[in-house]
Structure 1
Amino acid sequence: MSVRLERRGAVAVVTLDRPHRLNAIDLAMAERLTAVWREIRADAAIRAVVLTGAGDRAFSTGIDRTARVPQPPSPYSLDDPLLAIGPKANDLWKPVVAAVAGMACGGAFYLLGEAEFIVADEHATFFDPHTSYGMVSAYESIAMAQRMPFGEVARMALMGTAERISAQRAHQTGLVSEVTPAGGALPAALDAARVISGHPTEAVQGTVRAIWAAREAARAQAMAQAPALIALGSAPPQRQAELFTARGGEFRVR
């Protein structure tokens, strides 16, 4: 199964489980994520969540490049299967702590952008490849603009594959709340989730809603513009494929 759900007391662990594809998200995985968040939403025994990726090479490299999503013939409409993969997109207000090891890039930010905070292994890296492949970084940049200073988001989005942000730099800019030694991100995220799960659930979820309320107005306005920007500003699929092939065909750990 592409997404594993484990229960550890009052904490659920959601694992992206396609390590052979660097936990890239195909259409089946996107559907499974939606189902998992809704299952957690309905389970009163789950009070906090840890989100992670299988293996140590990548948390996720975003959408699987083999996925094919037919698009409507309008620049004002966009069918994006990743829009429904996050917890907030599925009306889940139980706190989510992300544990990142290896690469987190591109569409991974749809998930990281909807976590309450992020714990990263010291070898984790963050980057956004869109511009390198002739694509507009819209939803990803919007998500990161809610977590990082403007200039840092702009640099990451515009530099594409040419630059990767280290875990230490991500911590300095506020993207990551804690950096752990190698292999320590998941245990640290579990420790935090266990503490949170021990607090009264109404207070915890109310606090999550309050925090998100402070962000939602600007986020909603930006998200409304994203489909047209992506449709009008991205290279044709054939050109994207040529650029992807020219750069080696996959994301590699440096």
Structure 2
Amino acid sequence: MGAGVSTVRLSADKDTGVAVVTLDRPGRLNAVDEDMVRELSGVWRALRFDDSVRAVVLTGAGERAFCTGIDRDFAVPQPSSPYMQDDPLLAIGPKANDLWKPVVAAVRGMACGGAFYLLGESEFVVADTTAVFFDPHTTYGMVSAYESVLMAHRMPYGEVARMMLMGSAERLCAQRAHEIGLVSELTEEGRALEAAVRCAVVVAGAPTEGVQGTVRALWAAKEAARAQAFAQAPHLIALGNLPPGRQAELFAGRRPEYRLR
């Protein structure tokens, strides 16, 4: 973990076999910074060796957001070559860190942009009625590449295309997300974590080898297509992203109005 204040909390119940991983930067809407990238990767890798943990719930601290993607203050220098793009968010998910224990996401409030790296590597999503989903990339002159690929495996094409192309002008409400299958269970406000833990307890109670093998099989069903699409992402980003200065101008001039659907 980082030397400063921890950005990720881990708690485990040895009796149920369920661990809860909490993104813990509520003052920044659980946006991902350099410390969180490092800590999340460390947590997932540590859980590989903890046989007392058989299922994981991933959530965000506070009431306003699950995660709002990369912190705008987290500057990531990029090489000039499109063949060497550096995306730190590729390292934050459980599958990226070779963890094949089931992960259930519990969403309250906003989940946007880089949050989809985490939702895309979770087995399923539980959300409460405050949850909203959106991707602001295009609004700020950026290509939604990895996020779009991950969500295209979760949502009907037209729905994911609309969410990505509408940018910050529109947010997908929890009810609609449930209707289209992005969210598997919709709860009352404040009850998503409880419901996700309830599911995880059931899963953790099944024989471990069968559960982890099933997780691996489910991922294999989409892994080849995901890998091929990810291979195109650096080039599309290099071609389509506005210069960082222009992105910052668009971000600074953003308007808070949006449509909820």
Determine whether 1:85 maps to 2:92.
yes
What is the aligned counterpart of 2:138 among 123, 131, 139? 131
2:8 equivalent in structure 1: 3
- Structure 1 gap segments, 5+ residues each: none
State whether residues 110 and 133 of structure 2, in contact with CA within 8 Å, keep that contact through their aligned partners in structure 1.
Answer: yes
Q: Distance in 1 between matches of 2:22 and 2:218?
A: 25
Sort the Cα spacing of 1:15 and 1:62 in 2 relative to 1 into closer, same or farther, 3 A: same
State whether residues 19 and 54 of structure 1, in contact with CA within 8 Å, keep that contact through their aligned partners in structure 2.
Answer: yes
Q: Distance in 1 between matches of 2:224 and 2:87?
A: 21
Determine whether 1:46 maps to 2:53.
yes
Alignment-mate amino acid for residue 236 of structure 2 = L
What is the aligned counterpart of 1:30 among 10, 27, 37? 37
Q: Distance in 1 between matches of 2:104 and 2:76?
A: 30
State whether residues 77 and 228 of structure 1, in contact with CA within 8 Å, keep that contact through their aligned partners in structure 2.
Answer: no
1:146 equivalent in structure 2: 153
2:3 equivalent in structure 1: none
State whether residues 41 and 92 of structure 2, in contact with CA within 8 Å, keep that contact through their aligned partners in structure 1.
Answer: yes
What is the aligned counterpart of 1:109 among 87, 93, 116? 116
Secondary structure at the counterpart of residue 202 of structure 1? helix
Q: 1:70-128 CA distances to partner (integer Å, 9 max, x unpaired)?
A: 11110222101100000000000000000000000000000000000000011100000
Q: TM-score scaled by structure 1?
A: 0.97
What is the aligned counterpart of 2:25 among 18, 43, 62? 18
Alignment-mate amino acid for residue 2 of structure 1 = T
Q: Distance in 1 between matches of 2:152 and 2:84?
A: 23
Alignment-mate amino acid for residue 181 of structure 1 = E
Runs of 4 or more off by more than 2 Å in structure 1? none
Secondary structure at the counterpart of residue 12 of structure 1? strand
What is the aligned counterpart of 1:204 among 207, 211, 228? 211
Aligned ranges for residues 94-105 of structure 1 at < 5 Å? 94-105=101-112
Alignment-mate amino acid for residue 154 of structure 2 = R
Q: Distance in 1 between matches of 2:210 and 2:186?
A: 27
Secondary structure at the counterpart of residue 186 of structure 1? helix
Secondary structure at the counterpart of residue 169 of structure 1? helix
Alignment-mate amino acid for residue 135 of structure 2 = D
State whether residues 169 and 257 of structure 2, in contact with CA within 8 Å, keep that contact through their aligned partners in structure 1.
Answer: no
Aligned ranges for residues 52-63 of structure 1 at < 5 Å? 52-63=59-70
Determine whether 1:119 maps to 2:147.
no
Determine whether 1:178 maps to 2:185.
yes
Q: Distance in 2 between matches of 1:130 and 1:87?
A: 23
Q: Distance in 2 between matches of 1:8 and 1:112?
A: 23
Q: Distance in 2 between matches of 1:215 and 1:81?
A: 22
Secondary structure at the counterpart of residue 72 of structure 2? coil
State whether residues 76 and 231 of structure 1, in contact with CA within 8 Å, keep that contact through their aligned partners in structure 2.
Answer: no
Sort the Cα spacing of 1:47 and 1:141 in 2 relative to 1 into closer, same or farther, 3 A: same
Q: Distance in 2 between matches of 1:8 and 1:160?
A: 39
Secondary structure at the counterpart of residue 21 of structure 2? strand
Q: Distance in 1 between matches of 2:230 and 2:111?
A: 21
Alignment-mate amino acid for residue 28 of structure 1 = D
State whether residues 11 and 47 of structure 1, in contact with CA within 8 Å, keep that contact through their aligned partners in structure 2.
Answer: yes
